[in-house]
A and B are shown apart, each in its own frame.
Chain A
Amino acid sequence: MSEADARRGGGSQAVSLPRAFFIASGRNVWGDRLFQGCLYAVIALFLAIMVGMVGALVVESLPAARRFGLSFVFGLEWDPVQESFGALPFIYGTVVSAAVGMALAVPLGIGAAIYLAEVAPFPVRAPVGFLIELLAAVPSVVYGLWGIFVLAPFLRQWVEPALGSTLGWLPLFKGPPYGVGMLAAGLILSVMTVPFIATVGREVLLAVPNTQREAALALGATSWETTRVAVLPYGRSGLIGAVLLGLGRALGETMAVTMVIGNRPEISASLFAPGYTMASVLANEFTEATSDLYLSALVEIGLLLFVVTVLVNALARLLVWTVGGAVKGIRE
């Protein structure tokens, strides 16, 4: 310590500690610049990885794109022997299985988040929260095996016959009950995405300042009204983030879905029928694909998966924006 430092520290006791720190360090412009530079470098790296990935996908998929053109996206046939490739059944399977999964997982996940953050008695919160987090750590192959040996037989024996006999007039629930199929894939996806939505959602709701709740309660709101009027609108963007995180997982999930979806590249209105997703066909066929065109077609599927993921995310945001307009009024 130099004498000057000692004088400054001893002479001004009224100055608070953080302030003393800033005074001592002076206006450290270089530190700020370094920090900023690091951040720019990280962002640039991310962008470079994204651009590189998309670029590699585009280049590798060129042979298939040249050969099939747009008919690759809308084609219904996938025949590796005749080298005739169309991706529509896979796009359909990815979107529909994710939609079924999210239809079940969003209410469950948000509900669990609200319960854990707002309703549950304190001794219950930590253990239940921990159990839900544990679900997120289960490897997807374990979910897949559980799907084959427990979920699919259960669906075939009980759920699908029951749905068929009561709601069989809907095209969604027609056809023979195989157990494996779109419904099983959607259910597995919902089980796998609920912990993401619930855990992130809980953190978001816990971050809502208590003054929000107190204000609503002071106006005479019940606890449900408090949650609905004061807490949920405040955490809306965070909750959307939680849902989108789950959606991302649902669109890209490979192993568990492959094991229960039936792997049949066909478009069927019924949820009982087997389907196929883009991620599944990549996992299934990439290792043994030998011809160049076949490989290129698989890479193009990867590119389409990328495009579909971006589109679905954008649509989801758009939907929330337009629907969320009504809620906005309350918040402001």
Chain B
Amino acid sequence: MFKVRMIARIMGSALVALLLIAASPPNSAVAQTLMNGAGATFPYPIYSKWFDEYIKVDPSVRFNYQSIGSGGGIRQITERTVDFGASDGPMTDDQLKKAPGELLHIPTVLGAVVATYNLPGNPKLQFTGELLADIFLGKVTSWDDDRIKSVNPGVRLPKTPIVIVHRSDGSGTTYIWVDYLCKVSKEWEGKVGRGTSVKWPVGLGGKGNEGVAGQVKNTPGAFGYVELAYAITNKLPAAAIRNAAGKFVEASIESTTAAAAGAASNMPADFRVSLTNAPGDSTYPIASFTWLLVYKDQPDEAKGKLLVKFLWWAIHDGQKYTADLLYAPLPMPVVKQLEAKIRQITFQGKPLLASR
């Protein structure tokens, strides 16, 4: 009998303790709102930096971002299981139609994709778009091909076969790369097309940037493509590419931002724009926005307010964190256009952002 009473007392006090824990707020007096997001992996480093920094600006909001890939981000925002989605490629018209409300594309930062290679001494090389497409179509197979020689005068090129290395995983990086090849080569567009995964005419697949870079480093004569940030941190050789203005431009943060500036003059209202082969003398031609996806009419007033405040912060103050993480910031004209877009976000028709 004594034992039973004892157990009952212990159970009782445990229950009280549990109730107390459940009733008290997690750590501070301010109730935190949790914002859920999911999508692209490419901007994950800058987004997590932003979420960390933004807590200092507004401690009442906490972000939970799952980098499950652009496809997953689009699916989850369409099903409204997250508060915002993220994608490296713009949604198609079909996908937008499936969403239960109007979705906005908010560009956040820019990324670029570079062509990297493994040759003796790794000389600086340059390529035209058509040449890149023909190499990836398997029509130019050796490094000492006349067409490569003619755009690289003075460079000694070996008689090594070209081994193409591409991404095997579905990826925004691939999308940007093939989107560019589609724009510069009718044959590529007809035979292969654009997508996060495509049917490669030739070559080997490496998983992730590290898989492609690893295979390029280990295979003499290899030729592949990786993200600009990855190429810079790993000191990979990167080719200069001839842009739409006919200039050979190397990939850098500045020449990537220039791609968006070049496109700003005729930016479509929904920002669903491809920046590959964009106009401008100093533009690097293989660049792209990455987007956050949000509903124009927010389902929850409190959350919607927090979200638009964050978006406003991201396109202004947030941009200063891009350089450290090797993303290209949005150019000023695009930020101005975006301000107007963020003001359009509403809750039941009422704008959520107080006019400033």
Please report A residues at the B interface, Cβ cutoff 8 Å: 77-82, 144-145, 148-149, 152-153, 156, 176, 178-180, 258-259, 262-264, 274, 276, 280, 283-290
What is the CA–CA distance of A84 and B337 in the complex, to the nearest angstrom? 40
The reply to whether B170 and A180 form a contact with Cβ atoms under 8 Å apart is: no
The reply to whether B170 and A178 form a contact with Cβ atoms under 8 Å apart is: no
Contact of A81 among B168, B195, B214 (CB under 8 A): B195
The reply to whether B71 and A289 form a contact with Cβ atoms under 8 Å apart is: yes
Question: Which residue, A81, A283, A284, A288, has most C-beta atoms of chain B within 10 A?
Answer: A288
Chain A CB within 8 A of B69 CB: yes
A288-B170 contact, Cβ under 8 Å, with A80-B199, A262-B204, A263-B205: yes
What is the CA–CA distance of A181 and B207 in the complex, to the nearest angstrom? 13
The reply to whether A148 and B168 form a contact with Cβ atoms under 8 Å apart is: no
A259-B211 contact, Cβ under 8 Å, with A287-B69, A290-B95: yes
Number of A-B contacts (CB under 8 A): 99
A178-B70 contact, Cβ under 8 Å, with A263-B207, A288-B169: no
What is the CA–CA distance of A153 and B218 in the complex, to the nearest angstrom? 6
Contact of A77 among B92, B161, B199, B218 (CB under 8 A): B199
Within the complex, the shortest CB–CB distance from B161 to chain A, in Å, comes to: 7
Q: What is the number of residues of chain B that contact chain A, defined by CB distance less than 8 Å?
A: 36
A180-B168 contact, Cβ under 8 Å, with A263-B205, A288-B197, A290-B71: no
The reply to whether B170 and A263 form a contact with Cβ atoms under 8 Å apart is: no
The reply to whether A79 and B199 form a contact with Cβ atoms under 8 Å apart is: yes
What is the CA–CA distance of A217 and B71 in the complex, to the nearest angstrom? 66
The reply to whether A81 and B163 form a contact with Cβ atoms under 8 Å apart is: no
What is the CA–CA distance of A81 and B219 in the complex, to the nearest angstrom? 29
B222's closest neighbor in chain A, by CB? A178
Please report B residues at the A interface, Cβ cutoff 8 Å: 41, 68-72, 74-75, 92, 95, 161, 163, 168-172, 192-200, 203-207, 211, 214-215, 218-219
Contact of B204 among A274, A283, A285, A288 (CB under 8 A): A274
Q: Which 6 A-B pairs have the closest CB atoms?
A: A288-B170, A263-B205, A287-B69, A263-B168, A81-B193, A79-B199
Contact of A288 among B161, B171, B214 (CB under 8 A): B171
A176 contact set on B, CB distance < 8 A: 161
Q: List 6 A-B contacts (CB under 8 A).
A: A78-B199, A80-B197, A80-B198, A276-B205, A286-B170, A288-B71
Within the complex, the shortest CB–CB distance from B136 to chain A, in Å, comes to: 14
Given contacts A178-B163, A259-B206, A284-B168, 13 further A-B pairs with CB under 8 A are: A79-B198, A80-B198, A81-B193, A148-B211, A149-B218, A259-B207, A274-B204, A283-B169, A287-B41, A287-B69, A287-B169, A288-B71, A288-B172
A287-B199 contact, Cβ under 8 Å, with A81-B192, A148-B211, A263-B206: no
What is the CA–CA distance of A235 and B41 in the complex, to the nearest angstrom? 49
A261's closest neighbor in chain B, by CB? B205
B170 contact set on A, CB distance < 8 A: 80, 284-289
Within the complex, the shortest CB–CB distance from A287 to chain B, in Å, comes to: 3
The reply to whether B171 and A263 form a contact with Cβ atoms under 8 Å apart is: no
The reply to whether B196 and A149 form a contact with Cβ atoms under 8 Å apart is: no
B172's closest neighbor in chain A, by CB? A288
A176's closest neighbor in chain B, by CB? B161
Within the complex, the shortest CB–CB distance from B78 to chain A, in Å, comes to: 10
B199 contact set on A, CB distance < 8 A: 77-82
What is the CA–CA distance of A196 and B169 in the complex, to the nearest angstrom? 29
What is the CA–CA distance of A196 and B334 in the complex, to the nearest angstrom? 57
What is the CA–CA distance of A180 and B195 in the complex, to the nearest angstrom? 25
The reply to whether A288 and B218 form a contact with Cβ atoms under 8 Å apart is: no
A180 contact set on B, CB distance < 8 A: 204, 215
The reply to whether B219 and A179 form a contact with Cβ atoms under 8 Å apart is: yes
Contact of B195 among A80, A148, A153 (CB under 8 A): A80
Within the complex, the shortest CB–CB distance from A144 to chain B, in Å, comes to: 8
A259 contact set on B, CB distance < 8 A: 206-207, 211
Within the complex, the shortest CB–CB distance from A202 to chain B, in Å, comes to: 34
The reply to whether A264 and B219 form a contact with Cβ atoms under 8 Å apart is: no
Within the complex, the shortest CB–CB distance from B193 to chain A, in Å, comes to: 4
What is the CA–CA distance of A145 and B214 in the complex, to the nearest angstrom? 9
A288-B205 contact, Cβ under 8 Å, with A81-B192, A179-B218, A263-B168: no
What is the CA–CA distance of A27 and B335 in the complex, to the nearest angstrom? 82
The reply to whether A264 and B193 form a contact with Cβ atoms under 8 Å apart is: no
Within the complex, the shortest CB–CB distance from A36 to chain B, in Å, comes to: 30
The reply to whether B198 and A81 form a contact with Cβ atoms under 8 Å apart is: yes
B69 contact set on A, CB distance < 8 A: 287-288
A264 contact set on B, CB distance < 8 A: 200, 203-205
What is the CA–CA distance of A81 and B190 in the complex, to the nearest angstrom? 11
B68's closest neighbor in chain A, by CB? A287
The reply to whether A274 and B71 form a contact with Cβ atoms under 8 Å apart is: no
Within the complex, the shortest CB–CB distance from B47 to chain A, in Å, comes to: 17
The reply to whether A285 and B74 form a contact with Cβ atoms under 8 Å apart is: no
A148-B72 contact, Cβ under 8 Å, with A78-B199, A80-B198, A178-B219: no
Contact of B207 among A284, A286, A290 (CB under 8 A): A284
A284 contact set on B, CB distance < 8 A: 168-170, 197, 205, 207
Question: Which residue, A178, A262, A264, A287, has most C-beta atoms of chain B within 10 A?
Answer: A287
B74 contact set on A, CB distance < 8 A: 290
Within the complex, the shortest CB–CB distance from A282 to chain B, in Å, comes to: 11
A145 contact set on B, CB distance < 8 A: 214
Within the complex, the shortest CB–CB distance from A181 to chain B, in Å, comes to: 8
Contact of A82 among B161, B163, B168, B193 (CB under 8 A): B193
B219 contact set on A, CB distance < 8 A: 156, 178-179
Within the complex, the shortest CB–CB distance from A73 to chain B, in Å, comes to: 19
What is the CA–CA distance of A79 and B197 in the complex, to the nearest angstrom? 8
A295's closest neighbor in chain B, by CB? B71
What is the CA–CA distance of A288 and B88 in the complex, to the nearest angstrom? 10
A149 contact set on B, CB distance < 8 A: 214, 218
A144's closest neighbor in chain B, by CB? B207
B214 contact set on A, CB distance < 8 A: 145, 148-149
